[in-house]
Amino acid sequence: MAVRKIVIVDINQFFGGGQVYGLQVAPMLTRDFEVTVICVNKRFADELKRLDIHVVDYSGLLSWGRIFHQLLITAVCVWLRLIGQADLVWLNGIPEIVVTPFCRVLGCRVVVTRHLTLDIEVLSRLKRTLRVIAEIAFRYGAPFANKVICVSGAVRDSMATILPAEKLEVIHNWVSELPKQVKVGKQESESCKLLFVGRLEPHKGPFLIIEAMKLLAADGEAGRVTLTAVGQGRARDTLESAARGLDVQFMGFQEEPARFYSKADVFVNPTKGPEGLPLVTLDAMSYGLPCILSDLPVHVEVSEGGCSALLFRSGDPADLAEKIKILLRSDALRKEYGDRARKTIESDYVLGVAREKYIRLINSLGR
């Protein structure tokens, strides 16, 4: 039987979690299928090429706008179907959904990866309007897909409000390889090094860590907590101003954040959502770092109800400060949470588990 040909479509103009996912899923599929990726983000295209993935790169047309990209992708999908005999189109995001009906008319199977719940983060009026339009398009286009892959149970529960259960498949995000587990446990005289990794945007919650550190300082804990913030975003200048007087280092965007995970004592993800399954949370847990996470449904899920990580009330810096205090007081508790986090990743969020589920799903779709 001929090797099945899969076309992955990603027209996101920015490089984010969805593109990191693409860099994981594309090489995983090439072991069994012939994979082509259509994209408009240059960094994403370059990274795929370095992985020896066949790329149709339209990054030179990035400024032409999303509507043009959608029309272009429709034309390319037609060409790949008629000339290249591709029979499965994989849409990696929300705007791509508009090509779904056309691909089905061509006789293709269509899989959509949904990375976020239906909630919409706090955005400017224009960006919120565009996001609402995209979500409306998703609601009309998703029913044409054969399967919608949800990266967490939280995403599935959200999608179940607009799609029938038989169209939904949960396949968790994963770590490509397990790093060396960090050693957890510090002397009382040493400061606790907190780590934040993510975009410096209000809805990602970095301000909550700053506020929590101020509360700790007011309680006499000044000097016992430091913060390293890895990431870039429009809120960086405001964050730097808010952090004056605190021991905070802003490291900007880092291609390889591994060294920051290995040197941290506690990882904090204070995101207010929406989230599907944050890759940075999985990365931190894979190192065996004790984690403090906002109590979004996906964090409740990945922490097994708070067994593998401490959960704090989303948006509440006082509760975050209390959770930091709990870990400050006990080396043993930090080690216990770190060990549980690592075991959770080892059992459910590794490449082998994800690959088996993807292969089974693709084969179940037929041709």
Residue 225 pLDDT exceeds 80: yes
Question: What tokens appear for 6 in the block?
Answer: 């899969």
Sheet with 5-10: strands ordered across: 54-57, 34-39, 5-10, 88-91, 109-114, 147-150, 168-170
pLDDT of residue 185: 66
| Lowest mean pLDDT segment, chosen from 40-49, 63-72, 94-103, 239-248 | 63-72
Residue 326 pLDDT exceeds 60: yes
Same domain, 170 and 197: no
Same domain, 12 and 118: yes
Question: Rg of the chain over CA atoms, in angstroms?
Answer: 21
Quote the number of domains for the chain: 2
pLDDT of residue 343: 97
Q: Does 153 map to a domain?
A: yes
Alpha helix segments (H runs only) across 305-350: 317-328, 331-348
Same domain, 196 and 134: no
Q: Does 182 map to a domain?
A: no
Classify 33 as helix, strand or coil: coil
- What are 300-315's pLDDT values in tens digits? 999 999 999 999 999 9
Same domain, 292 and 333: yes
Sheet with 225-230: strands ordered across: 248-252, 225-230, 192-197, 266-269, 291-294, 310-312
pLDDT of residue 93: 84
pLDDT of residue 64: 65
Same domain, 22 and 156: yes
Q: Does 168 map to a domain?
A: yes
Q: Does 186 map to a domain?
A: no
- What are 282-299's pLDDT values in tens digits? 999 999 999 999 999 999
Residue 360 pLDDT exceeds 60: yes
Same domain, 256 and 288: yes
Same domain, 227 and 102: no
Same domain, 113 and 65: yes
Same domain, 326 and 338: yes
Contact 112, 149 (CB under 8 A): yes
pLDDT of residue 21: 94
Q: Does 354 map to a domain?
A: yes
Question: What tokens appear for 109 in the block?
Answer: 């199977």
The CATH number linked to 38 is 3.40.50.2000
Nearest-angstrom CA–CA distance, 195 and 193 = 7
Q: Does 184 map to a domain?
A: no
pLDDT of residue 123: 64
Tell me the pLDDT band of 2, cut-offs 50, 70 and 90. Answer: confident
Classify 301 as helix, strand or coil: helix
- What are 165-219's pLDDT values in tens digits? 999 999 999 999 999 999 886 545 478 899 999 999 999 999 999 999 999 999 8
Looking up tokens 């209000």, which residue turns up? 202
Q: Does 55 map to a domain?
A: yes
Tell me the pLDDT band of 100, cut-offs 50, 70 and 90. Answer: confident
Same domain, 143 and 103: yes
Q: Which domain holds residue 315?
A: 192-348
Nearest-angstrom CA–CA distance, 145 and 109 = 7
Same domain, 83 and 210: no
Same domain, 130 and 274: no
pLDDT of residue 107: 84
Closest CA to 22 of 56, 52, 45: 45
Cα 141 to chain center, whole Å?
A: 23
List C-alpha distances in Å: 39 to 20, 270, 362. Answer: 13, 31, 22
Which is more confidently placed, 96 or 1? 96
Q: Does 23 map to a domain?
A: yes
